[in-house]
Amino acid sequence: MLYFLIIYLVVVNIIAIALTIYDKRASVLGLWRVRESTLMLFSFLGGSVLMYLIMRIIHHKTRHPLFMVGIPIIFVLQIIFTLVVLYAVGYIG
């Protein structure tokens, strides 16, 4: 089970990073952009930490509160959810 979770998180984070880098490049070149809702979805699905770090590194969407505040909030909620689930199934507590 843990193996599948790790695979899932790796895939989601790779997609989140690729979308973020593509959107930055598209913004510079005037190409089709990735919807903000799509970026937030991949953050919500588990790509929040690496997406946030990549955004900071490449200076993409750093002036948008939706991303600079929203993604860390999503990450904190993911941590809380994970702890609640681990407690409920008896892994902690």
User: How far is residue 78 from each of residues 15, 27, 33, 67, 75, measured CA to CA in Å?
Assistant: 18, 29, 27, 16, 5
pLDDT at 13 over 80: yes
SS3 58: helix
Percent of the chain with pLDDT strictly greater than 70: 99
Q: 93: pLDDT confidence band, cut at 50, 70 and 90?
A: confident
Q: Give the model's pLDDT for residue 92.
A: 87
pLDDT digits (tens, 9 = 90+) for 18-53: 999 999 999 999 999 999 999 999 999 999 999 999
Concatenate the DSSP letters of all residues of 2-31 into one string.
Answer: HHHHHHHHHHHHHHHHHHHHHHHHHHHHT-
The arithmetic mean of pLDDT across residues 6-24, rounded, is 97
Q: Give the model's pLDDT for residue 91.
A: 85
List of residues 6+ apart from 19 with CB closer than 8 A? 34, 38, 39, 42
Name the nearest CA neighbour of 34 among 48, 15, 47. Answer: 15
Q: How far apart are CA 47 and CA 18, in angstroms?
A: 11
